[in-house]
Amino acid sequence: MPQTKILLDESDIPSHWYNVVADMPNPPAPPLGPDGKPVAPERMLAIFPGNILEQEMSRERWIPIPEPVRDIYRLWRPSPLIRAHRLEAVLGTPAKIYFKYEGVSPAGSHKPNSAVPQAYYNQVAGIKRLTTETGAGQWGSSLALAGQMFGLAVRVYMVKVSYHQKPFRRSMMQTWGAEVFASPTDMTQAGRGILAQDPDNPGSLGIAISEAVEEAASRADTNYALGSVLNHVLLHQTVIGLEAKKQFEQVGDYPDMIFAPCGGGCNFAGVSFPFFADKAAGDKRAQKLRFVAVEPASCPTLTKGVYAYDYGDVSGYTPLMKMYTLGHDFMPPGIHAGGLRYHGDSPLVSQLYHEKLIEAVAVPQLATFEAGVTFARAEGIIPAPESCHAIRACIDEALRCKASGEPKTLLFNLSGHGHFDMASYDKYFAGELEDYDYPEEAIQAALERLPKVAA
């Protein structure tokens, strides 16, 4: 059998992150305050350090990765690019299928790629503690790991229902030394207010964000860290695509299409943007390259949402961001790809989609698990439900190639393993999962509640 894994040395860990803003045809739409005027970055200094805000606003194409961050990346990076020979054979496709495997990180997903630099920049800025929220726990565990590496205390507000339903992600965070609380707590005004009205409130990501931000804003030694959506998070994730480019060079190949799950956007941006740089630079091989963001049919932000200014959170605490949104109070059904249950999308990904530089497709839940099982039986690795979305779309394309005879080169981002999601596979095998096509009327109703801002 020909080569399966394409590996790089530690010396090939990228020295710089790639900032797509430098290559976008139009500058990013700025975040706005409730008054409709651009928000001054200084207003965010209560919860983010200056060095991160600088990255958030930067238009530099290449931003150096600090050595202490690269030293932590060394624990698992570069991640392998893997040729899925056995999946190709099972599908009988002439397409070549590659995947970048981010499940090799200690937290089991791509999330530490940004958690590590966020912890580092906060440490450099003299911060002692970080707060964050987590739902299923992928981001919370990644920040717990990163905080431990840089000697920062980490407090995670975990959505109460997940805290009790997913105890193993919580144990993982505690193993790395983080404090984990079931949100709503009685430790914040936001939490106390909600508990006063409803002592049995099961929590939500919106509430947990409010608690984490409130604590960070109220303590000088404490900052807040976010796991997706924002520009600096997408920036950090570009190590994925930068490595993949070197790996394709090594085998003399180049993708025709790239697939990634898309919730907040950092997963998709991480693998795609460095190839977008090739396209922007006029690289011949990249001119036909297509980028496909894959989202759940039950939370179809790009494919059924609108491009408008909206809040990033349910309660409307964040600045207004120009993005594809289903409405900030849109409540997606409880699908098992928790990382893709977000009403909005990264402003950068949204703008590129609006300008038709990238594509999007929505896939139903059952078909994603079917794809995940097909993949696991061919390649061994059991993928996270989020990653199954990219696999579904990639398999669909490989089957189109089978029909047409086209030997396309396909790449998807296998953003994480499914070891903490086996209960979802269990339900899939037991026939207990459903597809949800979100009704158009519900989307329309949510969109009518969008904030009124002059765009």
Among 186, 249, 426, 434, binds its own copies (CB under 8 A): 426
- Are 222 and 127 a contacting pair, CB within 8 Å? yes
- Are 272 and 241 a contacting pair, CB within 8 Å? yes
Residue 106 in the binding site for its own copies (CB under 8 A): yes
Q: What is the DSSP string of 76-94?
A: TPSPPEEE-HHHHHHHT-S
Q: Is 185 left (phi over 0), alpha (psi -120 to 50) or beta?
A: beta
Among 28, 31, 108, 191, binds its own copies (CB under 8 A): 108
Task: Single out the segment in contact with its own copies by CB under 8 A; choices: 7-15, 183-191, 261-269, 320-328.
Answer: 7-15
Task: Single out the segment in contact with its own copies by CB under 8 A; choices: 124-132, 199-207, 255-263, 376-384.
Answer: 376-384
Task: Single out the segment in contact with its own copies by CB under 8 A; choices: 192-200, 234-242, 352-360, 421-429.
Answer: 421-429
CB of 412 to its own copies, least distance (A): 17
In the complex with its own copies, the residue whose CB is nearer, 194 or 388, is 388
Task: Single out the segment in contact with its own copies by CB under 8 A; choices: 122-130, 197-205, 248-256, 417-425.
Answer: 417-425
Half-sphere exposure of 284 (CA within 13 A, CB side): 0
**Cα(116)–Cα(69) distance, rounded to whole angstroms?**
6
Q: Give the DSSP letter of residue 45.
A: T
Question: Quick one: which H or E segment has residue 140?
Answer: helix 138-149
**Cα(392)–Cα(378) distance, rounded to whole angstroms?**
14
Among 380, 405, 431, 439, binds its own copies (CB under 8 A): 380
Among 51, 58, 148, 303, binds its own copies (CB under 8 A): 148
Q: Which x/- pattern over 284-323 shows residues binding its own copies (rule: CB under 8 A)?
A: ----------------------------------------
Closest Cα partner for 389 from 415, 354, 353?
415
Residue with tokens 């490989």: 398
Residue partners of 90: CB distance under 8 A and separation at least 6: 374, 377, 378
Among 21, 172, 362, 394, binds its own copies (CB under 8 A): 172
Q: Which residues bind its own copies (CB under 8 A)?
A: 1, 3-5, 7, 9-10, 67, 71, 74-76, 82, 86, 104-108, 145, 148-149, 167-168, 171-172, 174-177, 373, 376-377, 379-382, 419-420, 422-423, 425-426, 429
